[in-house]
Structure formats: structure tokens, C-alpha cells
Amino acid sequence: MSDMLRAPAEVKFAEELDWLESVDDSPKPFSWRLSPKMVRLFILGSERADGLDREISQKWFGDRSFVERAIVTLASDRGLLLIGDPGTGKSWLAELLSAAISRNSTLVVQGTAGTTEDHIKYSWNVSMVIAKGQSRASMIPSPIMTAMENGVIGRFEELTRSTSDVQDALISILSEKYVSIPELEDDNIVFAKPGFSIIATANSRDRGVNDLSSALKRRFNFVRIPVVTNKKSEAEIVRFRTEELLRRHNIELEVPPTLLDVLLQSFADLRAASASATSDDERLESALSTAEQIGVLEDAILHSNFFGASQLTAEALAGSLVGSLARRSPEDLAILNKYWHGVVEPRSKEQSGAWSGFLEGGRQAIATLS
Amino acid sequence: MTSPFAPLRGQLLSAAEALADGPAALPEILAGIVDDVDHALREPLEIFPVCHHSPASALAMLRRLREKQPKVIYLELCEDLQPLLSELHNCRLPVALQAFASELMDFPKESAPLSVIAPITEASAEYQAISYALDTPGVSLVLVDRSTDHVFQWQPDPSSPAETPEPEEDLHGDAVGVEIGDLRPRFAELEEHLLHHGQVRHWSEWWDQYVEQPLAGADHETYRQVMTMIGSLFRRLAPHDSKRYASDEDRERYMWTRIREHLAATGADPADCLYICGAFHAASRLAEVGSAPGTPDFEITPRTGTTWLYGLIPSSHSAIEAQFGLAPGSVSIAAATWQKQLGRLRLTPFQLDGQKGGKKKAKRALPPPSVTTGPVTDHLTGYLAGPPTLDGLDEEELRGWCVDIVRLARRNGYLASTADAIAVFETSVLLAGMRGRTRPTPYDFQDAAVTCIEKDTVPGRRDVKRLCEILLGGDRIGQVGYDALPPLARDVYDRLAPLGLNLEQRSIQRALLDLAARPELAPCSQLLWMLRYLLPDQAVRPIMGSRKLGEKHIQESWDLDLGRHQRTIIELGYEGVTVEQVLEQRLRRDAWDPKATAASALKAVEHSMLFLESPRLTEELGARAVELLSAERTVDDAPAVLRRIRRLLGHYRATTPVLPSWCERFVTGGYAHYCTLLPTTFVDEETGVRQVGAMLGFLFGMESLALSLGCDRTQLEIAVRQSHPESPAKVALLWAARHQLGDLPLADLRLRVDELLGNPLVVPAVPQYVSGFVQALEPVPRLAPFVVETISKAFGRLPDPVLLPWLPTLITTLRQQAAELVPVLTREAGRTFPGTLAAIDSWTPPWLARRPATATATGARQPSGGPAGTLLAAHPASTDAVAELLGCPGEWAPAVAVPASGRSALLTAFPATADAVAALVSA
């Protein structure tokens, strides 16, 4: 087991990537480590029809055309901007793409209100500058610049959180594909090597905070990742991530499949309720994304595991769901209360099973929080 | 006789063996599909398998018709639609053949109206066959599928899924669709599997890649064998226990029975005939299938007594896609492919004479038939063995698409440039490569365009995906020509002709009617008002002008959108022969509806007067209103009844010397009816104040008329006396009623209100009383000054916690009933309150001013006359003592008798003034 709390995708799936590289005989663009088809295979998993000797697991769940469009964009000379609601797997897809294409998914700039142009281009090691003057040695390249130098994929998380002038520093990087360092007299241009591209992610709920300039928009291809509403694929995602979590924590806990159904159904109900609500007060603050579902389950599993249960119970799941979703008091609690009494209660009468425990646990949790 | 397919059969069986872990049914299925093809080919009557919206089918059909030139064509289409086909040449495709029934027999009444549509597009095999058969002398076309009546007989639940479609997609309304050659996997897993491995997103794309393209240039034999094989495969993989499968089998039996009947009746040679059906049906192995005489027949059940009406309605590509669950744009793309293939293969399609739209081509005589009937050879192995032979990259075409999409995107608000065109091109090729094809399909191109051009927001009405659909074919909307329209629709167009507008155009037309200068346009205006009543909102919309009782306009202007609402006009045509007839039916239906109320009947009366000018109908509807009113047990509609009857009476009084008898009966009946109900409604909690107010309005407003017609006022007086409301609003209403009846003088009323305002226990309920008084404006309009006074007092004296929560309720009430109450109230308020700022300072409310000026404590008060005054004046001591006790110092002044009249009397009584003036003058 890796001694990293969370290993990046290229480390975690190193063995799979090595194997894929060894069997890949299709043409590869630029300095890509895998051909586009293999990148897709790595991300979406293999099937019998692919005729491979081993099975490649599916790592990202969603419409295959999104993955194809993303890969093709990276093979063209435009950057890729993944846009979508929080928790739809944008960053995970970005990480998988850069791990598969360039075996390095760690060249990441995190966009925040405090991100400056230095974080995108380069900054200086002040003490070295004082001691030896400005030179390439005293320069600290940003992850993006490192990606340019190595001809690999650089990532920019939450692009729209950083201010517009900082975002615009990307324009020249994406079009001219070089960064000049005017402070130096010679060797003052860093050219991007073939294979360099940028995957940025942006949260569609942040729209309007720092709008992208049209010039920058032009240099990115947008791929919109929708919230997964297909129950089957959502179940897959939750199962996949839960197994991973259990493995990571060495937890031996049984997760009954009926509980997964309860979780998926309750999220589907709450989403439907949110969609039909007319004002923000009638809508849960949470985006009710798949990631949120995983969070709820993870929380319930950890809680059950560390507080001595051998099996995940419906009560624990309900408590965790209420705890995660009730962010505003009283609005969110009122919605959950309404849901519990209007939907869960009749359902527990009809179907009993896990729903009865779910009803009880939820009631208690709501009562505690109220 | 050995089958030419034996080697292929063997090969497939050995493949099934190789997949030994596969399902046990695999060898049967694989061998079965080959056997099915073999069986179908042995049939002496040539079966031509087709698939809907497949250009390959249409091309193969076109070539086969030219080669074979059959004498009889049997077509899988509802047999009762046959007479409609000859009308097709008046229409611009796509249109849909429609069968419509609103009067049902033997079907559940609630499922009315039943409607079946069968859309016909230009790029379809069936249209090729229809055009060939109708325009070639000596060829007969026979529709053999079950009738529309059987469609519903065999379908237990005729309800179709209710969704709210886009306007273009709603061209078919909620009709049930029938289509020739429905070919699609019948269970979801198979379709999903095929899509997944074909690396395509939806069925149309799969079909295009694996069947359409390989078959586009194929010869007849290959086409026929491959299509039959696919039909057989889907048939064998379909769930056999479903109702749909059973109904499909019955249809096959039905069709073959009809074919044999026709063959026997006409003596046609099966070799000269062609049977066009979906590939699914071509692979049928039922006992009843086959043209050989002696094949068992299917017992065809008689039709129900339902009367079916037939017509053509306009259709569109998107409507077809929506109805049959096809991918958006697929029908348009099929149409574009058809045109392209025609050009490439240099073929001239069959087209009906006089067909609108499409390219006009000089008609050439058909070359003599050139059928070579050689032995059947195996064309399947070649198709199955190789990968689909797709067209190579057509760079020119793709480049054209890229440039066009950027242009289109720019026109729709996108910031797209030439750089985007280049990026779309590159991305399309890369995407296609990744999906294992050299030539980007239209769908790859669409994906690429979305990737490169679509950003975070859609600037205009259409997104890039939709733009691609428009670019690759564009929606086509059909039109039914004048001659194919039902009489009503033709009549509408004829009667609107004087407007001089092109009403067939699919855009909004502005009609300006200057009725003073051109009185001949008055009938047009009349018709437009009727259409306004009958058609959905957007079809005809008055911009200027209205139609109300007693009004006559000299100018009107209208927005007419009849082009886009042709279907609704055509469907109106199923209800009657003229608009007037349909309108009369509708009015009668409204009035005799089981849920009809007196108000709705009065509404029908009003409409009949506005639109039809038929005294007989109006009389009947009016009589119905009387009947309904006396049967009503609630007074929920009283406000509407009052409003309408008042308007009707006003109109009759102004226009006719005597009231119609139904009006008289309505008033007398209503007077008695409402008198009877008054006591209960006053108490009933569920009846609102407004309703009671309206009842009183009816009783007081119609009183003189009712009394003149023989009603008795005591009835009302007793009814009021019997009323004992409890809720404050109704109490106020009752007070107002009693005031109107002369039972409660205004002074008493005022006193009661003052008491209410002075009693802290009742203050919270005062707003409700005031609301009651506001409602009383309706029955007792002369109470308006008092209501203004009461409201002003309430505003002035109610404490904020009571006043503020009530204000919104008051405002909303006044808003909702603005037409009736607000004018009275504002007029009165305007009269009461000062109009200028300056006047406010010196303003005293009239209700205060009316009171005698309050005397100061020291001032002498005018004693009232009478014995009490005389007594007190005679013995002032006691009064003085009381005054002292109350803290009013001063002396009781004996009354100075003021003579009743005259200035001199005044001066005599107060001589001081006169003396002062005299002193002033003399000085």
C-alpha cells in the first residue's frame, strides 16, 4: 500500500498505465504516453470486446462522448475547460486525463481570489536573487511553466475563482505557447514543448464571479459535465468510490446493497424536489451531486466503523444524510423534515426494510439539530 | 432443392458452436435468420422490406420500381387511408394522413377524440411507391394493413404519453402514430449493446453507419437479403410474449389475407406484384403468410360503429422525430442524405404530379422493365463478413459544413471565427478517428462543433447542437394544399380572401380592417372573432379592437398566424362544415355540459349574441340558463351571474322594445331563487362575502324589474329578516341590506360603526366589518359616502397592529374586483377629499362638519326645545348643580328663543352686534 494518504492517479494506476503503454501500438500525438483510444480505455475501462488480456477498471462514469471530446481537444491546440456543477467529477476527469496522457497529474494551479500572475508564470527565490542576481537558477517556475518545459499537461483548478487579469495571463500561454522572462537578458523565453496543454475546471455555480474574457474563452474548448441523474451509473460511481474508501482505510464493514438503493432514491427525490421548488428557501443549499452522495456514505461508513458497528445501518446513513445536507437552519432542516414526513414515512410503511430504519434515524437526527 | 444459403448457414452454426458458452438459443437464432431470408425469397409475390426514414430503402425502392415496374403494389398502411393518397399531390411534404373520430361507439367515451396519423416524407420508400403507382397508368396501389379502427381495437390503452413538446414538434397533437417499416431492437439491452459497440450515441446513427451506408449503393438482391435478415434478427430477438408482438403477428395475418383476397378478386399474377412492408414483417414465418391459394385466412373482425373522418395535416421532420422517438435531426439528415445520393447516383425520383416543393424535373417515360430473374444467390456472406464499407473522408463536404456552422453560429450570437472553423474541422477528424471511422458522420461533426463553439452560455435562442441540425438538413414543415383541405378550412380561406393576405405563409400576418371605409370587410371581422373563439390563442390575435355587446368598431387590426396553425383549422373541419356550425355546437356543448352552471350558460348566450346573431339559439341557451339557475344549490357563481345578466339586460333594453321571455323568466326565477337561498348563505361558512354581496346585488338591482313582473317584495324582506349571520363581514352586509330596505337609518349605521371602533374588544374585527361594507357597494351603491367615511375612520383610528395586516387584504380585494368596486369608491373619495394640497389644511371631513359645532365648556349650549327644555329653563338650580359637579363653572343661561326665520330675528336676539355696527357708523 502506498504511504501517501491520497496517491495521484498516475501512482495509483501505475501498473495499469505501464501495461497499456506496453500494448499500445496506435499512433500517439506529440509526446503523449498513450494513444487517444488507450486514454479513453484507461478512463472508461475495458470490455470483453476490446480483446485485451487483462481488465481495465472504469474510473470515471459518465457519457463517453464527453471523454472523447476532452481527449480530442487536448490533441488539438486548444485548452480544455471542464465546466459543471460542484461534485460532478471534473477534477477527477482532469486528473485521469493528465495521468494517462503525460503520467503527471500534479502540475496544478489552484485558482483562488488570491492567485496572482506569478502563480501562473514564475516567481523569484528572493534570497537567491539577492545573493546571485536574477538567473534561471533563482527563478521558481510555476506548475504551468514546468508543464510547458516538459511538454506535458498542466492543470488549473477552479479557473473562475481567480480574478480576470490573472486568468488573462493564460491567453498568451495558450496562443503563443511561450512565456518570456523580461528580467533576464538571455535565455529569457520558455517555449512550450509539443504535448503541452492545459486542463482547467470551472464551477458553473460560480458563473458571474469572475467571467472569462472572450479572448480566453476562444482559446478553450468547453466540455460541460452534467450532474449524473442516471440511477444506474450513479450507483456504479457510489459503489466504486465506496470500495476505494473501504480499501484505503482498511475497513471491514459490510455495506448492504439495499442501503445504496435507499441513498440513491433519497437523493433522486430531493433533486426532484429542488428542481420543482420556486424559491431558494424551498431548495436545499447543497447541489445534491454524486460527490455529495459519496460524502454522505463515507461519513456514515466511518462513523459506523469507528463507533463499533460491524454493519452499516440505515439509521447511521440517515443521520449522516441529515448532517451533511442540513446547512442552513431552519430552511434546510424544514425541507428535510418535510421530506422525511411526506416521503420517507409513507415509503417505510409500504416497503419497510431499510426504509424504516432510515425513517427512524432521520427523525432523530432532525430532532437533535432542531 | 438445396438452398444457396447453405454454406452461410453452416458457417454460422459452426460459429455458434465456437461460442459454446453462449446462450443455448444461439444456433437456432443464427440458423433461423438465414432460413428466414431463404423463406422470404421463395415467396412468389416479391416482398420488398423497408425501414422508415431510410434513404437506402427509398433508393432501393426507386431502382426496383424502375426495373420491375409492377402492376400492383401492396403497401403496409391502414387500408382506410387509401382515398387520402390522391390528395397528396396538393400538399408540400412532409404531411401526415390523419384519421379522426370524436363520436365514439364501442370505445370508452373518455378516450375521445381518437386520432391516428401516418406521416409521409419525401425521402421514404413508401412515397416513391405511392408516386409511382398514382402517376403510372394501369398500376394499382392497395393498402393492406388493418384499418385505423382496428388500431384502437387492438390497442387496449389508447392514451399516449403526455409531454409538452416544442411548437414545431406539436404538429401532430396527441395522435397515435403509425409508420411503415418500424425497425428497431425491441428490448433496451440489445439496442444499448449495439450502440455501445458501434461507438455511436443513438439508434439513427448506428443504423446509418451499419446499414444505410453499406446498402446505399448495393444492388437489389443484396439490399433485399440484408434487410430481411436484419428484420429477422430483430424479430427473433424481440420478446415474443408481448402484446405488441402479438399485434404485429395479427397484422401480418391481416395483410396477407387482404393480399390474397385482392389477388383472387383481380386475378393478378403474383409475379407482377410488389408487397412493401417493414423488414420486421418480411421475415414472418406464420402459417397465414404467403400468397399461395389455400393458405389459411385470418378472421377479420368488423369495425366498430365509430365514424372516422379523414384528412391531411401538415407535419414536420421534428414532429416525426418527436412522435417516433428518433434522435433529433435524424429525419432531416436522412432527407439530406437522400438528396445527396440521388445526385451521386444520378437518379430521378418519382414525384407526384403538381407536388409542391422539391425540385421540379421534367417527367420522362420509364424505360421498359428490365428484370432478370436468375437463381437466388447468397449476398449475405459478403455483407456479414466485411466491415461496413463507409465512404471515405469527403473533405470538401466537411469543410463546407465547418464554414457554414461558424457562419450560422455567428448569426446566432456566438463569437465564432474562422479559427473555430479550422478547429471544428480538426476536431471532427480526430473524433471520427477515435471512434474508428475515417469519415466523420454528421453526428461526429455535431460533437466537434459543440466542443469548439459552445461556451458557457447560449447567446441566442438556439444552441450549437440545434444549429448543426438546421445546417445538416433543417426542419421541413409540410403544408396541406387548398384542394386537400376539408370544406370548413377552405371556407375559412375563401372568406378571408378579401383581406388580401397570404395566409398559407408560416409567419404572422398583420390584417388591418378599416370597417368604415371598407364595410365589405365586416364579414371577415366577424369570422375572425369566431376563429378567435375556436382556435388556440396564438392563431388569430386582435391587436386593436374588441367585441363586446353593443360595441361597433370602425377599425380593427389582427395578427394572423393561420399558416402555422393549419392543423387546428383542419381538425375544426372534422367537427362541421362551417365555422358557424362548429361554433353553435360548441356553445350548445358548453351549455349542456354536465358541469355547466348558470354563469357558463349566460356566457354561451352572450357569445351566441356576439358571434352568431341567431335569436333562436340565444333563446334556447337562455332557457337553459334559467333551468340551470333554478337547479343550483350553491351561489359560488353569483358574481358572474350578476355581471353577465346585468350586461345582457342593459343590451336588450338599449336595442329591443321588449325583453325576451327567457330574460324575464331569468329575473323572476333568480329573484325567488336568491331570496330562498339568502338566509342559508348568510350563515353558511363556505359561502364568501362576495357571493352574498352579489346575491344582494341581484336582488336589489333587479328589484324593480322583478316586481313589475309579478314578484313580491315581502319575500325579500322576510328573507333578510331571517338572516342571522355571525361573521363580521356578513353582519356588515346585512346592515347594509337592511339600510337599503329602509329598516336601518344611516345615523344608526354610523352609530354602530362608532361603537365598534370605540370598543377595544371588537377593534380587531373592525377590518372585517369594513370589508363587508366594501362588498355592500355592489348591492347598495348609495352607501358609497358612508363606506368612504368608514374606511377613513378605520384608517384614522385603528391601531397599527390591526390596521397593517389588514391593508394588503383590502388592497388585493379591491384589485381583484376592480371593475365593480373601485370606480364607485374612488369617485366618492374624490368627491369627499380635497383635491389640492392647500385645501387640506382647512379641510374638515364632511361627516364631522355635518355634526353641530361642539360648544365650549363655558359657552351656552342651545337647548333643545320641547317640554324638557322648558322644565330645565324654569328650574335652573338643578342643572347648575350638575354642571358644578362635573367641573363646568358658569351659570345656566335661560334659553333665548330664536325665532324660526329671518335675519331680523337673528339681529333681535343678538343686538350687541347691531349696536356695535351702529356706533361704528355714527362715529
What is the per-residue DSSP string for B772-808? HHHHHTTT-GGGHHHHHHHHHHHHHHS-HHHHHHHHH
Q: Given this model, what pLDDT does residue B160 score?
A: 44
Considering only the beta carbons, identify the residue of A73, A75, A222 that sits closest to B455: A222
**DSSP conformation letters of B26-44:** HHHHHHHHHHHHHHHHH-S
CA–CA gap between residue A363 and residue A201 (Å, rounded): 38
Task: Locate the chain A residue with the closest alpha carbon to B198.
Answer: A49
Q: Does A205 touch chain B (CB under 8 A)?
A: no
In three-state secondary structure terms, B160 is coil
Question: Which residues from B are below 8 Å from A24, CB to CB?
Answer: none
Record: contact A68-B431, CB cut-off 8 A? yes
- In the Cβ-directed half-sphere of B361, how many Cα atoms lie within 13 Å? 14
* pLDDT one-digit tens code per residue, B617-652: 898 999 999 989 888 888 888 889 998 999 999 999
State the best of A65, A74, A214, A230 to mutate against chain B, taking most chain B CBs within 10 Å: A65
B79 pLDDT higher than 80: yes
Interface residue ranges in chain B relative to chain A, Cβ cutoff 8 Å: 196-197, 199, 201, 415, 417, 419-420, 423, 426-427, 430-431, 433-435, 447-448, 450-452, 454-457
In three-state secondary structure terms, B872 is helix
Q: Given this model, what pLDDT does residue B374 score?
A: 65
Record: contact B427-A76, CB cut-off 8 A? yes
Mean pLDDT of A26-52: 87
* pLDDT one-digit tens code per residue, B310-334: 888 888 888 888 888 787 778 888 8
* pLDDT one-digit tens code per residue, B659-706: 888 999 999 989 988 988 888 888 888 888 889 999 999 999 888 888
Backbone angles phi, psi at B635, to 5 degrees: -120, 25
Record: contact B415-A218, CB cut-off 8 A? yes
Q: Given this model, what pLDDT does residue B22 score?
A: 61
Task: Locate the chain A residue with the closest alpha carbon to B425.
Answer: A76
User: Which of residues B430 and A329 earns the better pLDDT score?
Assistant: B430
Q: Given this model, what pLDDT does residue B902 score?
A: 65
Distance from CA of A115 to the nearest CA of B (A): 22
B806 pLDDT higher than 60: yes
Q: Given this model, what pLDDT does residue A97 score?
A: 95
Distance from CA of A208 to the nearest CA of B (A): 11
Q: How confident is the model at residue A154 (pLDDT cuts 50, 70, 90)?
A: very high
* pLDDT one-digit tens code per residue, A240-289: 778 877 777 777 777 788 888 888 888 888 888 887 777 777 788 887 88
B125 pLDDT higher than 60: yes
Mean pLDDT of A80-95: 90
What's the gap between Cα B476 and its chain centre?
A: 23
Given a contact cutoff of 8 angstroms between Cβ atoms, the answer to whether A101 and A153 are in contact is: yes
Record: contact A65-B433, CB cut-off 8 A? no
Distance from CA of A43 to the nearest CA of B (A): 14
Backbone angles phi, psi at A109, to 5 degrees: -110, 130
Range in A90-104, A339-353, B71-85 the model is least confident about: A339-353
Q: Given this model, what pLDDT does residue A123 score?
A: 93
Considering only the beta carbons, identify the residue of A69, A207, A212 that sits closest to B451: A69
Q: Given this model, what pLDDT does residue B40 score?
A: 86
Task: Locate the chain B residue with the closest alpha carbon to A204.
Answer: B456
Question: Which residues from A are below 8 Å from B427, CB to CB?
Answer: 69, 72-73, 76, 221
Please write down the HEC assignment for all residues of B605-667. HHHHHHHHCCHHHHHHHHHHHHHHHHHCCCCCCHHHHHHHHHHHHHHHHHHCCCCCHHHHHHH
CA–CA gap between residue B877 and residue B884 (Å, rounded): 10
In three-state secondary structure terms, A105 is coil
Considering only the beta carbons, identify the residue of A36, A218, A222 that sits closest to B454: A222
Highest mean pLDDT among B663-677, B705-719, B791-805: B663-677
Question: Which residues from B are below 8 Å from A65, CB to CB?
Answer: 201, 447
Distance from CA of A138 to the nearest CA of B (A): 39
Considering only the beta carbons, identify the residue of B423, B434, B456 that sits closest to A78: B423
B853 pLDDT higher than 90: no
Given a contact cutoff of 8 angstroms between Cβ atoms, the answer to whether B473 and B330 are in contact is: no
- A vs B: CB pairs below 8 A: 61
Q: How confident is the model at residue B860 (pLDDT cuts 50, 70, 90)?
A: very low
Considering only the beta carbons, identify the residue of B199, B430, B451 that sits closest to A223: B451
CA–CA gap between residue B775 and residue B729 (Å, rounded): 9
B390 pLDDT higher than 70: no
Distance from CA of A73 to the nearest CA of B (A): 7
CA–CA gap between residue B485 and residue B483 (Å, rounded): 6
The rounded percent of chain B whose pLDDT value lies above 90 is: 9
In three-state secondary structure terms, B397 is helix
Task: Locate the chain A residue with the closest alpha carbon to B431.
Answer: A72
Pairing verdict, β A79-84 and A220-225? parallel
B857 pLDDT higher than 50: no
The rounded percent of chain B whose pLDDT value lies above 70 is: 90
C-alpha cell at B631: 337547479
Considering only the beta carbons, identify the residue of B433, B451, B455 that sits closest to A73: B451
Record: contact A217-B456, CB cut-off 8 A? yes
Alpha carbon distances (Å) from B405 to A154, B409, B456: 31, 6, 18
Nearest by Cα to B54 from B212, B279, B194: B212
Q: Given this model, what pLDDT does residue A220 score?
A: 92
Q: Given this model, what pLDDT does residue B889 score?
A: 64
Q: Given this model, what pLDDT does residue B157 score?
A: 55
Mean pLDDT of B394-400: 83
Q: B114: part of which helix (H) or strand (E)?
A: strand B114-120
B357 pLDDT higher than 70: no
Given a contact cutoff of 8 angstroms between Cβ atoms, the answer to whether B693 and B813 are in contact is: no
Task: Locate the chain A residue with the closest alpha carbon to B196.
Answer: A64
User: Which of residues B50 and A331 earns the better pLDDT score?
Assistant: B50
pLDDT averaged over chain B? 82
B361 pLDDT higher than 60: no
Highest mean pLDDT among A328-332, B741-745, B861-865: B741-745
State the best of B418, B451, B457 to mutate against chain A, taking most chain A CBs within 10 Å: B451
Considering only the beta carbons, identify the residue of B196, B430, B455 that sits closest to A72: B430
Q: Given this model, what pLDDT does residue B389 score?
A: 62
**Residue recorded with cell 445534491:** A288
Given a contact cutoff of 8 angstroms between Cβ atoms, the answer to whether B320 and B40 are in contact is: no
* pLDDT one-digit tens code per residue, B862-884: 545 567 777 877 777 887 888 77
Q: Given this model, what pLDDT does residue B782 score?
A: 86
Question: Which residues from A are below 8 Å from B420, CB to CB?
Answer: 218
Q: Given this model, what pLDDT does residue A192 score?
A: 93
Pairing verdict, β B72-78 and A108-110? unpaired
Q: Given this model, what pLDDT does residue A172 score?
A: 87
B591 pLDDT higher than 80: yes
Contacts of B668-672 spanning 24+ positions with Cβ under 8 A: B668/B706, B668/B709, B668/B710, B668/B711, B669/B626, B669/B629, B669/B630, B670/B629, B670/B641, B670/B645, B670/B698, B670/B702, B670/B706, B671/B698, B671/B699, B671/B702, B671/B703, B671/B706, B671/B711, B671/B715, B671/B716, B672/B711, B672/B715
B158 pLDDT higher than 50: no
B551 pLDDT higher than 60: yes
Q: How confident is the model at residue B20 (pLDDT cuts 50, 70, 90)?
A: low
Q: Given this model, what pLDDT does residue B424 score?
A: 93
Record: contact B434-A36, CB cut-off 8 A? yes
CA–CA gap between residue B168 and residue B179 (Å, rounded): 19
A101 pLDDT higher than 90: yes
Record: contact B415-A217, CB cut-off 8 A? yes
Strand partners, A179: A190
Question: Which residues from A are below 8 Å from B450, CB to CB?
Answer: 69
* pLDDT one-digit tens code per residue, B473-511: 777 777 787 877 888 888 888 888 888 888 888 888 888
User: Which of residues B593 and B891 earns the better pLDDT score?
Assistant: B593
Considering only the beta carbons, identify the residue of B199, B417, B447 that sits closest to A69: B447
Per-state percent for chain B, helix, strand, coil, to nearest 5: 60, 5, 35
Question: Which residues from A are below 8 Å from B431, CB to CB?
Answer: 68-69, 72
Q: How confident is the model at residue B164 (pLDDT cuts 50, 70, 90)?
A: very low
Q: What is the pTM of this model?
A: 0.66
Given a contact cutoff of 8 angstroms between Cβ atoms, the answer to whether B567 and B115 are in contact is: no
Considering only the beta carbons, identify the residue of A37, A202, A221 that sits closest to B434: A37
* pLDDT one-digit tens code per residue, B177-209: 777 767 777 777 778 888 877 777 778 888 888
The one-character DSSP state at B553 is -
For domain A9-225, say whether CATH 3.90.79.10 is its number. no
Record: contact A78-B452, CB cut-off 8 A? yes
Q: Given this model, what pLDDT does residue B196 score?
A: 79
Q: Given this model, what pLDDT does residue A127 score?
A: 95
A11 pLDDT higher than 90: yes
Q: How confident is the model at residue B108 (pLDDT cuts 50, 70, 90)?
A: confident
> CA angle, A81 as apex, A80 and A86 as ends, to 5°?
145
Question: Which residues from B are below 8 Å from A159, CB to CB?
Answer: none
In three-state secondary structure terms, B703 is helix
B162 pLDDT higher than 50: no
Q: How many CB atoms lie within 10 A of CB A259?
A: 23
Q: Does A204 touch chain B (CB under 8 A)?
A: yes
CA–CA gap between residue B405 and residue B471 (Å, rounded): 7
A145 pLDDT higher than 80: yes
CA–CA gap between residue B285 and residue B288 (Å, rounded): 8
Q: Given this model, what pLDDT does residue B854 score?
A: 46
Record: contact B423-A223, CB cut-off 8 A? no
B915 pLDDT higher than 60: yes
